[in-house]
Structure 1
Amino acid sequence: MKRVALLIVAGIGLLAVGGVVGWRLHRPAADARAYAVMRLIAIQVSLDEAPAQYVFYGGDSQVELHPGGQEACGLPLVNGGVSGSTAAAYADHLAQLSFTAHPRIAALTIGTNDILMKNAPRSAGPAARFEAAAELIVRRLQGLAPRVVVTALPPVGRELGTLVDAAAVADYSQRLRGLCGRLGCTFTDPFAPLRDGETGYAKPGAMRDGLHLAAYRPVLKALEPTLCGP
């Protein structure tokens, strides 16, 4: 009986985790917009109080979840991540922010919310829209900072294989690489140590909930050499 009870509890726990992740992946649009409004206020406060020299890191929850108080290249890091953002949504968010002091370096991680299965991300229309929105973001950042770094998409957990198109991780990352080749930004992959080969999936233990990383500080450390430049 004890064994049965333990199995039931474990099953409930797994369902709860799946439910939380599922809610994140299918968050109602109204909730996402309401959250973005409050998050943009917080980002604007950070920008208004930023020093003359700083690094701005924009993107989705893969950026927002970075711990606070970090530095990059010896400069304060202003976290401009907005959870739940697609590339198109983040282009709109970024357009609403004002930069009294411009960053010395700007970075971008975007795309996780664009590759949900429900979006059919590898079909021609969604892929083209992602690339167009990413270009808007990059051009905006290039108007703010002399150095712009764009990262590959992070991997996803195998447990989300029916919700997220893991094959689109490499596809969209290549699109961002090509975009940087065309626009003059710098492309890099700080998530490489977390990848399980070329599958788009993460190595065991690399993810917290299948969608977000287990640890973010190592990613910033891996990103820093490219951010800081020669």
Structure 2
Amino acid sequence: MLALAALAALLAGAAGFGLGWGLHKPVLSARAYAQNRLIAVQVHLDEAPPDYVFLAGDSQAELQPPAQRPCGLELVNGGVSGSSAAVYADLVETLSFRGRPRAVMLTIGTNDLMRKNSPLDPKAAAQFEAAATRIVRRLMQVTDTLVVTALPPVGRDLERVLEPGAVGAYSERLRALCERLGCRFADPFAALRDGGSGLATPGALRDGLHLAAYRPALLALAPALCRTAPH
């Protein structure tokens, strides 16, 4: 019973884990949380129907409500809260896809914006791009339609911790990556942006980091996710 209680507490806390809810009092490391989260992801992948949509990335993917049916298909959520691009690049390699998802959405990069890591430094930006490239190449092996999103904006109350200037810079790197490798790039967060500042409009976020509403973002991706892949 104690073991079950501990696991329940772990999973309950993990729902809010990551850069944001776990920003000031981190309880778990991203990799420690991922060890438990990936069990659930793999179970869902193993039992997924022949045709489904897979969500990949950090908490911006994991927090998407599971009852949605993009393209009229079951949603398998492979988001792992707290993951940087480098962490998720390692994680996605461990997943086994028995069936090919009709489409995959990737949202990654928010946890790479920490000011302490100097995200606008050319070396840090290049490391982000290299990790994102690993993720994209892996996901393109399992689907014909990969949609990579821009980074969502961040709240003004987190400017001391996060670098809003890197939101646009990293999004452009992802756009160029898709142009080079053949994935699709989309920005479902455009309506939440305060110009090109990397900051969010008032009321767009619930905690300075996570969206106030996730369903509109996935709905905005429908044209890219559900369009038949080019031959």
* TM-score bracket, shorter-length normalisation: 0.7 to 0.9
Which of 122, 144, 147 aligns to 1:146? It is: 144
Deviation at 1:31?
A: 2.9
Partners of 2:148 and 2:20 lie apart in 1 by 27
Whole-Å Cα distance in 2 between the matches of residues 133 and 172 of structure 1? Answer: 12
Match of 1:64 in 2: 62
Gaps of 5+ in 1: 1-19
**1:85 is matched with which residue?**
83
Which residue among 43, 52, 55 is the counterpart of 2:53? 55
- CA drift of 1:124 comes to 1.1
Give the superposition deviation at 1:32.
Answer: 2.3
Tell me whether 28-37 or 54-63 shows the greater mean CA deviation: 28-37
Q: Show CA shifts across 1:77-123 (max 9, x none).
A: 11110000000100111001101111111110000000111110010
1:107 is paired with a residue whose SS is: strand
Q: CA deviation at 1:170?
A: 0.2
Q: 1:218 to 1:92 in 2, by over 3 A?
A: same
CA distance in 2 between counterparts of 1:130 and 1:117 reads 14
Deviation at 1:27, TM superposition (A): 6.5
Name the larger-Rg structure: 1
**Matched-pair contact (CA < 8 Å) for 1:21–1:209:** no
Helix, strand or coil: the match of 2:211? coil
CA distance in 2, matches of 1:145, 1:99: 10
1:134 alignment partner AA: A
Spell out the pairing of 1:1-230 with structure 2 (5 A cutoff).
24-25=22-23, 31-229=29-227
Contact 1:25 1:116 in 2 (8 A): no
Could you tell me which runs of 5 or more consecutive residues in structure 2 were left unpaired when the two chains were aligned: 1-17
How many Å apart are 1:25 and its aligned residue? Answer: 3.0
The size of the alignment, in residue pairs, is 211
In the aligned structure 2, how far is the partner of 1:26 from the partner of 1:228?
38
Percent identity of paired positions between Structure 1 and Structure 2: 62
SS in 2 for 1:83: coil
Q: Which one has the bigger helix percentage?
A: 1
* Length-normalised TM-score, structure 2: 0.87
Separation (CA, whole Å) in 1 of partners of 2:41 and 2:20: 26
- Using the TM superposition, give the Cα deviation of residue 208 of structure 1 relative to its aligned residue in structure 2, in angstroms: 0.4
Q: Against the structure 1 CA distance between its residues 44 and 22, is the aligned structure 2 distance closer, same or farther, given a 3 Å change threshold?
A: closer
In the aligned structure 2, how far is the partner of 1:148 from the partner of 1:27?
Answer: 34
**1:28 Cα offset (Å):** 5.5
CA contact (8 A) 1:115 1:121 kept: yes
Aligned partners of 2:20 and 2:209 also within 8 Å: no
